[in-house]
Amino acid sequence: MTRNAGATVDPTRRFPILALAAIAAALSVLASSCAGSPDASGTQAQATARTASYQPPAKIDAQAQRIQGMEKAASQLEKGDADAAAETLAKLASASPGDPGIELARSAALVSAGKLDEARKSVDALLASSPKDTDAMVMAAELARFDGDGKARKGYLDRALATAPGEASVLAAWGDYHLDAKEWKKADDYYRRALAADPDSPDARLGLGRALYRQGKHAEAEAELTKAIAIESSSPLAYSDRARVRSQLGKYAEAEGDLDAAIARAPDESWLYLDRGRFRLNLMNLDGALSDFDRAISLDPGYFLPYALRGGIHDEQGRDKAALDDYRKVVSLYPEYWYAFESAGAAAFRLGHWEEAATDFRKAYESAPDRFDYAITASLALWRSGKAKEAKAFAGSIAPSVNREKDYLSWATLRLIQEQGDATSDLEIKIQESKKLDEKSSMLFYLAEYWICRQKTDLAVKYLVLASELKREGTLEYRMIKAELSALGASSDG
pLDDT digits (tens, 9 = 90+) for 224-258: 999 999 999 988 999 999 999 999 999 999 999 99
Residue 165, SS3 per DSSP: coil
Q: Where are the beta strands (DSSP E) in 105-163?
A: none
Indicate if the pLDDT at residue 411 is higher than 80. yes
Per-residue pLDDT tens for 71-100? Answer: 887 887 777 787 888 888 888 878 777 678
Looking at residue 23, its pLDDT comes to: 55
Per-residue pLDDT tens for 302-328? Answer: 999 999 999 999 999 999 999 999 999
Q: Are the C-beta atoms of 375 and 398 separated by less than 8 Å? A: yes
Mean pLDDT of 282-292: 97
Q: Are the C-beta atoms of 351 and 314 separated by less than 8 Å? A: no
Beta-carbon contacts of 462 under 8 Å, excluding residues fewer than 6 positions away, are: 448
Indicate if the pLDDT at residue 270 is higher than 70. yes
Q: Rounded CA gap, 142 and 232, in Å?
A: 20
Per-residue pLDDT tens for 136-189? Answer: 999 999 999 988 999 999 999 999 999 999 999 999 999 999 999 999 999 999
Percent of the chain with pLDDT over 70: 86
Among the listed residues 479, 410, 423, 431, the one whose alpha carbon sits nearest the alpha carbon of residue 454: 423
Q: What phi and psi values does residue 278 have, to the nearest 5 degrees?
A: -65, -40
Q: Going from the N-terminus, what domains does the chain have, and what CATH number goes with each?
A: 11-39+55-147 (1.25.40), 165-268 (1.25.40.10), 338-487 (1.25.40.10)
Q: Rounded CA gap, 179 and 174, in Å?
A: 9
Beta-carbon contacts of 23 under 8 Å, excluding residues fewer than 6 positions away, are: 70, 73, 74, 77, 105, 108
CA–CA–CA angle 22, 24, 29 (5° rounding): 100
Q: Rounded CA gap, 152 and 49, in Å?
A: 50
pLDDT: is 445 or 104 the higher one? Answer: 445
Tell the burial category of 83 from Cβ atoms under 10 Å away from its Cβ (0-12, 13-18, 19+). Answer: middle
0.95 surpassed by pTM: no
Highest mean pLDDT among 72-76, 118-122, 232-236, 458-462: 458-462
Q: Are the C-beta atoms of 368 and 338 separated by less than 8 Å? A: yes
Of 76-90, 270-284, 366-380, 467-481, the range with the lowest mean pLDDT is: 76-90
Per-residue pLDDT tens for 412-454? Answer: 999 999 999 998 999 999 999 999 999 999 999 999 999 999 9
Indicate if the pLDDT at residue 42 is higher than 70. no
Mean pLDDT, the chain, integer: 87
Residue 103 carries which side chain, given as an amino acid letter? E
Looking at residue 494, its pLDDT comes to: 46
